[in-house]
Amino acid sequence: MPPKRIMLIRHAEKPAGRVRGIDADGRADAEALTVRGWQRAGALVRLFAPRNGRSAARRLAVPDVLFAAGVGPKSPSRRPLQTITPLARALGKRIEQRHRKGQESALVAAIMRRKGAVLVAWEHTLVPTIANAILGDHTTVPQRWPDHRFDVVWVLKRTGKRWTFRQVPQKLLAGDTDEPIEPVKPAR
């Protein structure tokens, strides 16, 4: 039986322009989160694992299983793993990272073998691919995750054999918005 709820997030803020990535020890690392990204990673703990046991957002759940994109030769970014490492520590859970970017079909198969609530941290351009595979269509979710958006959770909830889709704003850091990611309108 597949999980009841799957929550998809993109990794937290990444290097861009003059903003550099840093590893957990503060050393420069182009494949790591920025300072703001590390702040978001810490704030995600209270979003997904609040002290009172109830999620700060009604449609979210404390995850039973955590997945992040694995690191490898063609997938060097550590940002998805870094984004949910503080949450994993707070929950005392291990992060599944066997699958890398480009292995989304295998990731979805692994997700569907899990129970409860699942949280996936992945590279933003591939989050729609993951959602499409779970939902079985290419029309329910926006097919492009904007480069500048780090502040939303996509929630897929199963009731019986049906899935529903919602976007939940994180509202964790200054500048976060409660606006959903809109589908890209086709060019005329």
- At 114 the three-state DSSP class reads coil
Residue 164 lies in a domain: yes
Asked if pLDDT for residue 188 goes beyond 70, the answer is no
Question: CATH no. for residue 97?
Answer: 3.40.50.1240
Residue 34 lies in a domain: yes
Residue 19 lies in a domain: no
- Find the mean pLDDT for residues 15-25: 94
Beta-bridge partner residues of 158: 163
Question: How many structural domains compose the chain?
Answer: 1
Confidence band of 21 (pLDDT split at 50, 70, 90): very high
For 146-170, give one letter per residue: b (16+ CB within 10 A) or e: eeeebbbbbbbbeeeeebeeebbeb
Under 8 Å between Cβ of 155 and 60: yes
Question: What pTM, to 2 d.p., does this model score?
Answer: 0.94
Residue 187 lies in a domain: no
Residue 135 lies in a domain: yes
Q: What's the token pair of residue 58?
A: 């009604």
pLDDT tens digit sequence for 32-54: 999 999 999 999 999 999 887 66
Range of the domain at 85: 5-13+27-169
